[in-house]
Amino acid sequence: MALMENKAALAKAAKDLVARWYEVKGVWSDAQSQEFENVYLLQFEQDVRAALGAMDHMSQVLQRIEYDCE
């Protein structure tokens, strides 16, 4: 199902972004980088987790709809 493929793509993209961030942190470790992490990346991770949970819920709803329509 396309929804679950998109969920997997989102999870992978988020994981890749976090991995790249840790690479960048190795060379950019000042107050600005800490602020960037606190303001943007921590919120981003929370938002992605919420989106992935919502996608799971949507998948369940769509499965019920499909079952009811058979």
Cα distances (angstroms) measured from residue 56 to each of 30, 37, 48: 38, 27, 12
Q: Which residues contact 23 (CB under 8 A, 6 or more apart)?
A: none
How many CB atoms are located within 10 Å of the residue 21 CB?
Answer: 17
Q: Please tell me the distance from the alpha carbon of residue 49 to that of residue 42, in angstroms, as a whole number.
A: 11
Q: Band the pLDDT of 10: cuts 50, 70, 90.
A: very high
- The pLDDT of residue 1 is 61
Q: Is residue 63 pLDDT above 80, yes or no?
A: yes
Amino acid at 64: R
Q: Give pTM, 2 decimals.
A: 0.83
- The pLDDT of residue 45 is 96
Number of domains observed in the structure of the chain: 1
- The pLDDT of residue 70 is 86
**17-55 tens-digit pLDDT:** 999 999 999 999 999 999 999 999 999 999 999 999 999
Domain encompassing residue 28 = 2-69
